């Protein structure tokens, strides 16, 4: 099968049907993501992230592949569930709720808000519903306030002793603003346009997190960009960095800005070198800046999502620059992924492999794996491969 | 080498010298636990748990193997560091501090307090210092208040939606009260004697956490002992359960109470069956009550400490009951551990192996692995094997 057909077939005949069959809550709306290998639900608690991510995926499918009632219904159920059950009285969103929408966990982070924002933006584009437009803007405003107004989000580590800042809110800020701009136009939220927020984030990523002397994109730095020479400060996340790389390349493509494309391929070059496992193939989960041991136990495991992000980054880099090495890298990560992750018997992909590519758990989903990275990769790469 | 000699040699000629050489902070006092394979310090942040645990280990060595100035100095430095730097203004202890004692993280849990309590109790016994006696009682009082007064410790999951209670505070409460009773006598803290707190904990473990119909010791249950049929509620931790098992057997031995010994061996029987990896050997980190997939990524890895606890539990069960199967199990876990964990080149044990026993990280210590489970096992088993 040629690449465009393989991406389309995997998306429309395997992944999406698996989630439609097993992951849609027909009783309360929204998505159940804790699925065993064969799709049986093994935990009914709901990830708020995945209500937004799943709604975004189904609304985007309708926009890209043509409106289908079962896709639209799945998105509608999750949008409704988000509105009814996922906001705390303060307006901040929960992290998990029960199947019927009672609150379980509130976390410091505001990624629930970023995923709800892209869901509502795509839903507005699909349906024209005005409320969804307002919801998207409100969720992104909360995201920006908590992420970038000093002091709003409580720090994990005492900021008087060791102030730290992470790349996550900047990266996700870029991707969220890109989606809102795509569907709502270059609207203004919290005193900046979407393009303005993207510039804000790219500037910080470039100044604070990119380290040419180390050929590394950091995950966490001091507020002045200084390297924090402790476990957390040295821990690199190649899959996360490759995701960031393609957000920057995509922005370069959108603006026709070669500088941004180059910024993205620079990160790709650095972090492919650090992330690709020369011995067993696949992308490591964590690496240390100075090749010291990492504290996280799953550092050498192969998770599905870094492979999805690497597949997009390499294909996009090849398409935008024409450099052969990116085609070679794309082939490497594509072949490794399609060899090790899919479950031909029950469909969808395993999420968690050992370093050598053997399956660590038969889970198809949980509070961290649902309908997002894989279908996004299949949609983005499908378009790039055309 | 016969067993008693092997335990003694590993303790006194390998493990303790490794930590004395690499893990003692000669400048600020206390212990540095983030050590690379060869003992190089790769992170200077200090775990408050391990200031207490390390001080307990060195003070206990002096009590059991004879006073040595380098052991006493190491304990003294950590006791001093604990007193100076590890208490927040509220009296609650930090989770991590910098090398020079500035606060990094405060967590909800109070295990820093339990380990400080046993350190101070052993230090009092060794030196007769009155302040240490008071410190031990105060730390245990804080531990008890936060662990068992409803509402003092903020819940991770909304208690209005899903009230939960964990076995950890009960287990560690038993071990802490046993140490305090050993060194300070059956003193009263928070209106109960040490023996009273042990009875309190055993009663709850038996009524709420032991499930004969499932042959399982739960980690988390509803306040009435009901099984919470979600990822967290179903997740079993065999190493933790085997640790609990020998705390109960030890209490049975101390009191001459066959019922408590039987309670311990019952847990051992159930959780050995669930925890021992029939395919590769070794003790799994997590298992699911219904053999469903577990959400934690490192579920099938082999960590050093469950093996230490299993080695104690099996040897103690054999010693107390004379049943041959416990000798057989002890041989299995002993041989597997001593084959896979030790590093003959640089000394000490690796902490984190893949399921098949291959080394996952060359780390000898971090914020979770330091001087505690291994030396405790070598001391307890050394005595049992005599």
Arithmetic mean of pLDDT, B84-88: 98
Report how far residue B174's alpha carbon sits from residue B251's, in angstroms, rounded to the nearest whole number: 9
- DSSP E strand stretches across chain A: 34-35, 41-43, 46-47, 96-97, 103-105, 165-166, 188-189, 192-193, 210-211, 216-217, 220-221, 235-236, 287-288, 302-303, 352-353
Q: List chain B residues with CB under 8 Å of A354.
A: 354-355
In the block, tokens 């972090």 appear at A271
Rounded Cα distance, A98 and A30, in Å? 11
Subunit contact B297:A352, Cβ cutoff 8 A: yes
C-alpha angle A79-A80-A82 in degrees, rounded to nearest 5: 65
Q: Are A247 and A197 in contact (CB under 8 A)?
A: no
B156 touches chain A (CB under 8 A): yes
| Integer CA distances (angstroms), A12 to A58, A313, B261, B369, in order | 11, 22, 59, 47
Per-residue pLDDT, B1: 87
**Size of the A and B interface in Cβ pairs below 8 Å:** 100
CA angle B37, B364, B338 (to 5 degrees): 100
Q: What is the pLDDT of residue B285?
A: 98
Percent of chain B with pLDDT over 90: 99
- Any chain A CB within 8 A of the CB of B354? yes
Instruction: Work out the average pLDDT over B58-82.
Output: 98
Predicted TM-score of the model (pTM): 0.97
Q: How many beta carbons lie within 10 A of that of residue A338, not counting itself?
A: 14
Closest CA of chain B from A334, distance in Å: 23
A242, A208 contact by CB (below 8 A): no
Domain annotation for chain A: domains and CATH numbers: 173-361 (1.50.10.10)
d(CA B215, CA B176) in angstroms, rounded, equals 27
B330-339 mean pLDDT: 98
* The pLDDT of residue A136: 98
Sign, Cα dihedral of B3, B7, B8, B14: positive
What are the residues facing B105 on neighbouring strands? B96
Q: How far is CA A66 from the centre of its chain?
A: 23
Task: Please tell me what DSSP assigns to residue A283.
Answer: B
ipTM of the complex: 0.96
Task: Sort out which chain A residues have CB atoms less than 8 A from B368's CB and list them.
Answer: 295
Q: Could you write out the DSSP letters of every residue in A123-184?
A: HHHHH--HHHHHHHHHHHHHHHHHHHSTTSSPPSS-TTT---EESHHHHHHHHHHHHHHHHH
Mean pLDDT of all residues in B304-324? 98
Q: What's the pLDDT tens digit per position in B250-279?
A: 999 999 999 999 999 999 999 999 999 999
Cβ contact, residue pair A162, B98, below 8 Å: yes
Local confidence pLDDT in tens for the 386 residues of chain A: 899 999 999 999 999 999 999 999 999 999 999 999 999 999 999 999 999 999 999 999 999 999 999 999 999 999 999 999 999 999 999 999 999 999 999 999 999 999 999 999 999 999 999 999 999 999 999 999 999 999 899 999 999 999 999 999 999 999 999 999 999 999 999 999 999 999 999 999 999 999 999 999 999 999 999 999 999 999 999 999 999 999 999 999 999 999 999 999 999 999 999 999 999 999 999 999 999 999 999 999 999 999 999 999 999 999 999 999 999 999 999 999 999 999 999 999 999 999 999 999 999 999 999 999 999 999 999 999 99
CA distance B185 to B179: 9
How far apart (Å, rounded) are the C-alpha atoms in residues B83 and A154?
A: 27
Mutation to test the A interface, candidates B154, B295, B362, most A Cβ within 10 Å: B295
Cross-chain CB nearest to B105 (options A156, A295, A368): A156
**pLDDT mean across residues, chain B:** 98
Residues of A in contact with B34 (CB under 8 A): 231, 295
- The residue in chain B having the minimum alpha-carbon distance to the alpha carbon of residue A229 is B43
Q: How far is CA A56 from CA A10, A13, A176, in A?
A: 18, 19, 11
pLDDT higher than threshold 90 for residue B193: yes
Of B45, B161, B293, the CB nearest to A230: B45
C-beta atoms of B362 and A230 within 8 A: no
Q: Identify the pLDDT of residue A1.
A: 86
**B42, burial (CB in 10 Å: exposed 0-12, middle 13-18, buried 19+):** buried
Backbone phi and psi for residue A43, each to the nearest 5 degrees, phi listed first? -155, 130
Does A363 contact chain B (CB < 8 Å)?
yes
What is residue A84's predicted lDDT score, i.e. its pLDDT? 98
Give tens-digit pLDDT for B198-223: 999 999 999 999 999 999 999 999 99
Give how far the C-alpha of residue A172 lies from the chain's centroid of Cα atoms, to the nearest Å.
8
- Please name the residues between 294 and 353 in chain B that touch chain A, using a CB distance below 8 Å: 294-295, 297-301, 352
What is the tens place of the pLDDT at every residue in B174-190?
A: 999 999 999 999 999 99
CA distance A356 to chain B (A): 11
Using only C-alpha atoms, chain A has a radius of gyration, in whole angstroms, of 20
Q: What is the DSSP letter of B94?
A: P
CB A275 within 8 A of CB A238: yes
């Amino acid at each position: 099968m040629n690449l465009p057909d393989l991406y389309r077939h995997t998306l429309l005949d395997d992944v999406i049907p698996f989630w439609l069959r097993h992951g849609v809550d027909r009783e309360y709306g929204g998505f159940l993501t804790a699925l065993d290998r064969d799709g049986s639900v093994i935990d009914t608690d709901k990830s708020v992230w995945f209500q937004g991510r799943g709604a975004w995926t189904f609304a985007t499918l309708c926009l890209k592949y043509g409106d289908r009632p079962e896709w639209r219904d799945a998105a509608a159920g999750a949008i409704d569930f988000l509105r009814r059950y996922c906001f705390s009285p303060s307006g901040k969103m929960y992290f998990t709720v029960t199947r019927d929408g009672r609150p379980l966990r509130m976390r410091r982070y505001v990624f629930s808000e970023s995923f709800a924002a892209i869901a509502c933006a795509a839903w507005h584009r699909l349906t024209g519903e005005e409320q969804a437009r307002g919801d998207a803007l409100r969720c992104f405003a909360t995201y920006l306030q908590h992420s970038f107004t000093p002091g709003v989000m409580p720090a994990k580590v005492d900021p008087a002793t060791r102030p730290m800042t992470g790349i996550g809110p900047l990266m996700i800020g870029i991707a969220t603003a890109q989606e809102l701009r795509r569907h709502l136009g270059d609207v203004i939220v919290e005193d900046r346009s979407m393009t303005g927020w993207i510039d804000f984030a790219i500037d910080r990523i470039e100044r604070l997190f990119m380290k040419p002397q180390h050929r590394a994109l950091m995950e966490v730095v001091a507020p002045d960009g200084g390297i924090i020479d402790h476990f957390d400060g040295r821990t690199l996340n190649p899959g996360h960095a490759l995701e960031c790389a393609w957000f920057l390349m995509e922005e370069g493509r959108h603006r026709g800005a070669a500088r941004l494309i180059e910024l993205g391929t620079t990160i790709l070059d650095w972090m492919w070198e650090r992330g690709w496992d020369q011995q067993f193939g696949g992308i490591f989960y964590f690496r240390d800046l100075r090749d010291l041991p990492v504290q996280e136990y799953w550092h050498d495991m192969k998770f599905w999502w870094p492979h999805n992000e690497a597949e997009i980054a390499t294909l996009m880099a090849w398409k935008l620059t024409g450099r052969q090495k990116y085609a070679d890298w794309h082939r490497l990560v594509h072949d490794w992924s399609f060899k090790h992750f899919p479950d031909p018997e029950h469909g969808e992909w395993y999420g968690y492999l050992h370093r050598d590519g053997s399956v660590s758990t038969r889970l198809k989903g949980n509070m961290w794996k649902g309908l997002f990275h894989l279908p996004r990769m299949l949609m983005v790469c499908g378009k790039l491969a055309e």
